[in-house]
């Protein structure tokens, strides 16, 4: 894991965006996995601002959504779907055929997970996976547990996840999530991990011990050869 310590959120977002953009300069048809929420928002805003420098964005760049709150309307303004659409797809003019994402209000969540897994196997692997760090060490909805699931699955949300700021604003409160699994994430060619937000000092200290444990899902990123971790020092 390559650690990049940044003075504040803006510096973290800028540096991560510069790295991502340099990767897209080399090849613009990459498959990008998108986390949602405040941690990656600044990165996406910078990516949109760099659009004119990378005119192939609208021709070949592809996206897959990391996770979604289960059982909520797809149109809820605080869903992951609306976030991805408003912050990434529409500004970058990405057509729907180059976007893959969980349907939040599907009737059979397990079937939906199998659909996404099948699509990923056909269109993957992920080139660059963008992740945030949860206060309990989760990535996506891969929550601390005795064992972690490798592929797309229905996840029972931990109490910290249920208290996420996005949940506070949801009109329907989710009891489960839909998420890519740990093997899906670790199969990505490169990973960007963004660490920002209050109350994460303890989990960051645990992560930096490099001890790999299913009770700290983010620790599995130490097993990946190409992780770029950007740390917002001002939030620690």
- Residues with catalytic annotation? 67, 136, 138, 143
Q: Beta partners for 231?
A: 5, 195
- Token look-up 């912050």 returns 87
| Alpha carbon 231 to chain centroid, angstroms | 16
What single string gives the DSSP state of each residue in 165-193? HHHHH-SS--SEEEE--HHHHHTSSEEEE
CA distances from 58 to 16, 48, 67, 93, 204 (A): 21, 11, 23, 5, 36
Task: Return all residues near 27 (Cβ < 8 A) that are at least 6 apart.
Answer: none
Whether the Cβ atoms of residue 232 and residue 8 lie closer than 8 Å to each other:
yes
For the record, the structure tokens of 133 come out as 């760090």
């Amino acid at each position: 894991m390559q650690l990049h310590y940044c003075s504040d959120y803006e510096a973290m977002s800028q540096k991560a965006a510069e790295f991502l953009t340099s990767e897209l300069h080399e090849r613009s048809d990459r498959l990008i996995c998108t986390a949602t929420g405040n941690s990656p928002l600044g990165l996406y805003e910078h990516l949109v601002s760099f659009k004119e420098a990378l005119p192939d964005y609208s021709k070949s760049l592809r996206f897959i959504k990391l996770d979604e709150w289960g059982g909520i309307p797809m149109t809820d303004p605080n869903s992951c779907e609306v976030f991805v659409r408003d912050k990434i797809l529409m500004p970058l003019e990405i057509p729907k055929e180059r976007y893959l994402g969980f349907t939040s209000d599907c009737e059979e969540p397990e079937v939906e997970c199998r659909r996404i897994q099948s699509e990923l196997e056909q269109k993957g692997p992920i080139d660059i996976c963008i992740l945030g760090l949860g206060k309990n060490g989760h990535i996506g909805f891969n929550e601390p547990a005795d064992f972690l699931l490798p592929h797309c699955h229905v996840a029972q949300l931990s109490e910290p996840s249920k208290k996420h700021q996005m949940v506070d604003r949801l009109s329907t409160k989710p009891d489960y999530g839909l998420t890519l699994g740990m093997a899906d994430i670790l199969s990505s060619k490169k990973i960007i991990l963004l660490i920002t937000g209050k109350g994460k000092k303890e989990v960051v200290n645990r992560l930096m011990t490099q001890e790999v444990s299913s009770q700290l899902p983010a620790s599995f990123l130490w097993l990946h050869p190409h992780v770029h971790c950007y740390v917002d020092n001002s939030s620690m």
